[in-house]
Chains A and B, each alone.
Chain A
C-alpha cells in the first residue's frame, strides 16, 4: 500500500519547524503502508500534548480524548470492536505523567493495542517545563534549580509489569524506527514503543546530537525473551539502549479473555440483548 493514502493534503500543522514529530508522522505512515493497514481499519487514540495531535495529521479514525486518558479509551475501543487496529499515541507527559496509572494497569491488562510514546524529556505544549522523563538537573522556568526528581523509566516499569512487548527507538534513525513500529504493531498483545524525539524549541540539552551520542543499539546477542536481561538493559543510564528489549509471547490479549465474547464473536455495535433470556432472569427473582 502507498503511504500517501494516509496523507491529509494541504493542512496546517502546529508543530515547530524541525520537530521530531514530523519524522515520526512520516515513518508511521510508511510502517502502516508496509503492513497494509487501511485507514478505515486504523484507530488512532491520543490524549493531549504536541505528540497527541498526530492523529489529526493522517487519514484514520481519530479519538483525541483527554490529557492522560488515551489508554483507557483505546482499551475500550479495542474491546468493543476487536477488528480495529488500535494505536494509542501521545507524549511522555500524557502517557507517563497524567496517565501514569493507566499506563501501569493497561500493561497488566495486555490489550492487543500498540502504544507509541514520543519521549522528548520536556513539556512542549505548556512551554518547557519538566516531564516525567526529564533528566536530573534539567533547568526549566519551573524547575529553576534543575530537576530533582528521579526520571521515570518507562521500559523498566513495563518489563517489571511483564509487558508483552517493550522497545525503544530514536527518530534520528528513521529506518530502525520504522522497523520497530512494524514489530510493535504486529505484536499480539500490548506493545510499548518509547520513541526518543528531540524538542528543538524547549529542550536544548537533549538534542539530536545528544541522543546520537547517548544511545546505542542492543547487541544481536540480547535475548528478548529473557526478562532479567531485559530489565538490566532497561536500567542502563550511562548510554541508553535502543531496540527490542523484551517480548513475552505467552500472554493472551485482554479482549480474547473477555466472557462477553465466549459464545458471541460479534462486535458490540452488532448486538442486541436476548430479551427472552432476560425475561427468564426476571422471572427467577
Chain B
C-alpha cells in the first residue's frame, strides 16, 4: 500500500534559491491534487549559512512539522551535515557526492544539479533541475510540472521559460529513472481536492484578515518574523486603499496607529517582541484614550535580540502585562490559517467595539508555514464600525452603563473630540479630581464583563468526552493534533486556545473534566499554564516545553504524550 504522506527536505545556502524550489514544488504538488505543507528554518543572514525547508505531501491534509525526512534534496556542501540528526537509513538522500560529509554512512542518489544545469546552458537552472528531480521521483504528471514552471518564469521571457523547462525535464527524467531502476517506491495517492484550494502561510492569512477587517492604515518598523505582514499590506496599499508607513521606530509606529484610529482609520502595527517592547507606552496610551488599536506580534526567541529567525511562544506575558496602569485588552493566538484570517479581521471589530488594544499573537513558525485550505470567504467577517457622528455638545468620555462612550472622530459631525493621556473629565480635558479619577478607572474596566462573554471558545478535539487533556495555544495546534492522531488514543483530547486573554468562561469546566492534563508550550516557563492557574486556580503540573528556537515536531510530542500521559502503545 502506498504511503499516506512523505516529508521532503530541501537544504542549501541562503540566497541559493531554496525558496524558489519550495514555491514551485508546493504549486506542483497542489495542482496534482495532493495536500501540501511547507515550513522553513533559516539563519539570520542574507547569504551563506544553511537554510532548509520541509515540504510534506499527503493523501490527507498535512499541516505540521515533522522530524522524519523521507527525501532530502541537498543543494550544497554542508546541507547533509546540517540535517544529519534527522537522517537515517530510510532517508533517500539526493545530492552530489562532493556535498556529502566524509563520514557519511548511508547510501545516496548521486546527481549534480549544477552540472545538468550547465549542460542546459547555465548553472542558474540548478534549482529547476532539482524541482524536476523531485517531481520525477514522485511520479507527478510532467505536464503539470511544465505548467507551473511556465507560470513561475512567465514574465522573464521565452528563452528563460524554455531553458527552465529543459532543465526541469532533465531533472524529471533522472528522478523517474531512479525510481524505475532502483525500485524505490515513492508512490502516493492523490485525493484530488487540493487543486481547487489555496496555499498560503500565516503571514498571508494575517494580512488577508486585516484587509477583510477593514484595515486601512499600517505603521510599522521592519522586524523578523513580522515583516511579511508589513510587506504584504504595502504591496496591496494602492489596490485596497491602505496608508502604509515604515516608521522611524516602533514608538512612532504605535503612536501613528493610535493617531489614525482616533481620526477614523482602522490601523494596525506589526512587530516582534523586541519591537513590541518599545510599543508598550502606546498600549497604555490607547487604553487611556479609549482609542482602539490592533497590534500583531510575531514572536521569536528572546530576551533582547535572541534568535532573530527562530520561533518561540515566550511573549504572552509581555503582551498580557504590557502598558502601565490597569485596563482591559484582548489577545488572540490563532492556531490555523482560517483562524488567523478570521481573528485578525475580528480584532478590528473587537478593538473598535470595546475601544481597547487587541493583539494577534503569532510566531515565526506560524508566519512561515504554508498549507492548502479551502478558499477563505472574504465576507466571513463583517466590518463593524462603531463610530458616531458628533453633536455640538459631544463629550468623548460621557458615562454610560457599560463604560463605553460613543466614539466620535474629528471632522465627522459638529462636536469636538478631545482625548488626553492624563486622567480626564467626560469632555476629555485634564483633571486631578480624584473622585472623578475613580469613576474613570471603573468606566475603563466596566467593559471587561462583556469582553469575557464574547471570548472565542477553545477548540476541544476530537471529542468533548476525554480522560486526558492536552492544553495548547497558538501555532502548536496542528502539531498537537497530528501527534494525537498518530497515537490514536480515544481518551485523549486537545484543548486549543485561539484567544488566550481573557480566557473563555468554560476553561475550568473543561480542565476539571480531565483526569490528567498536560500543557504544550514553546517557552521555558509555561506561560499559558501560569495564566490559567491565575484565573481559574487550576494547576497544570505536566508541562511539555520547548525553547530551542525550533518548533515542536509531531514525533517528539507523540513521545511526550505517551510518556507523560501513559497513552499509545
- On A, residues with C-beta under 8 Å from B are 39-41, 43, 45, 48, 53, 55-56, 59-66, 69, 71-77, 79-81, 83-84, 101-102, 104-105, 109, 258-264, 267-279, 281-283, 285
Contacts and interface: CB of A to CB of B under 8 A. Distances in A.
Given A73-B255, A105-B252, A274 B240 contact: yes
Nearest to A262: B238
Interface stretch (B124-132, B168-176, B242-250, B456-464): B242-250
Given A83-B411, A259-B237, A282 B419 contact: no
B179 to A, nearest CB: 31
Contact of A76 (B239, B256, B421): B256
B541 to A, nearest CB: 42
A239 B385 CA distance: 55
A283 B375 contact: yes
20 contacts: A39-B416, A59-B416, A61-B416, A61-B417, A69-B285, A73-B255, A73-B262, A77-B263, A101-B248, A260-B241, A262-B238, A269-B264, A273-B240, A275-B378, A275-B379, A276-B378, A278-B211, A279-B377, A281-B208, A282-B198
Contact of B217 (A83, A105, A264, A268): A268
B550 interface: no
Contacts of B379: 275, 279
B216 interface: yes
Interface stretch (B52-60, B422-430, B497-505): B422-430
**On chain B, which size bracket covers the interface?**
35 or more
B266 interface: yes
Q: Is the interface of A mostly helix, strand, loop or mixed?
A: helix
Contact of A278 (B212, B245, B252): B212
B212 A285 contact: no
Interface of B: 198-200, 204, 208, 211-217, 219, 236-245, 247-249, 251-253, 255-260, 262-267, 281-282, 285, 289, 375-379, 383, 385, 387, 409-412, 414-422, 428-430
B161 to A, nearest CB: 20
B411 A84 contact: yes
A282 B243 contact: no
A272 B348 CA distance: 12
A282 B378 contact: yes
Contacts of A43: 263, 410
Contacts of A55: 418
6 interchain residue pairs of minimum CB distance: A269-B264, A76-B259, A73-B259, A105-B248, A80-B263, A285-B198
B254 to A, nearest CB: 8
Given A278-B211, A281-B208, A76 B200 contact: no
Contact of A64 (B241, B266, B419): B419
B258 A260 contact: no
B212 A273 contact: yes
Contacts of A83: 411
Nearest to A268: B265
Given A102-B248, A278-B208, A80 B416 contact: no
A41 B429 CA distance: 18
Nearest to A104: B248
A268 B263 contact: yes
Contacts of A263: 238, 241
B264 A267 contact: yes
B410 A77 contact: yes
B248 A260 contact: no
A279 B441 CA distance: 42
B312 to A, nearest CB: 27
Contact of B383 (A69, A101, A270, A273): A273
Contacts of B265: 76, 80, 268-269
A279 B376 CA distance: 8
Contact of B263 (A76, A105, A276): A76
B152 to A, nearest CB: 14
Give the residue among B252, B379, B417 with the most A Cβ atoms within 10 A: B252
A113 to B, nearest CB: 11
A260 B428 CA distance: 31
Contacts of B252: 69, 71-72, 101-102, 105
Contact of A271 (B214, B258, B377): B214
B26 to A, nearest CB: 11
Contact of A65 (B258, B415, B418): B258
A259 B417 CA distance: 28
A73 B238 contact: no
Contacts of B429: 56, 62
Contacts of B417: 61-62
A72 B263 contact: no
A66 B289 CA distance: 11
A64 B421 contact: yes
Contact of A72 (B242, B255, B418): B255
B50 to A, nearest CB: 29
Contacts of B258: 65, 73, 76
Given A56-B430, A62-B420, A79 B264 contact: no
A259 B238 contact: yes
Given A74-B259, A76-B259, A281-B236, A65 B421 contact: yes
A53 B420 CA distance: 10
Contacts of B377: 279
Contacts of B198: 282-283, 285
A71 B252 CA distance: 8
A44 B477 CA distance: 47
A41 B412 CA distance: 10
Nearest to B237: A259
Contacts of A64: 419-422, 430
Give the residue among A53, A73, A279 with the most B Cβ atoms within 10 A: A73
A252 B187 CA distance: 61
B262 A63 contact: yes
A77 B259 contact: yes
A161 to B, nearest CB: 12
B376 to A, nearest CB: 5
Contacts of A102: 248, 251-252
Given A69-B282, A79-B243, A268-B243, 4 more contacts: A63-B419, A65-B259, A72-B255, A272-B214
Contact of A80 (B239, B259, B430): B259
Given A65-B258, A105-B252, A275-B378, A81 B243 contact: no
A268 B208 contact: no
Contacts of A285: 198-200, 204
A72 B262 contact: no
Given A73-B256, A278-B211, A65 B285 contact: yes
A97 B388 CA distance: 37
Contacts of A53: 430
Contacts of A277: 239-240
Given A273-B383, A282-B208, A60 B416 contact: yes
A81 B411 CA distance: 8
Nearest to B281: A66
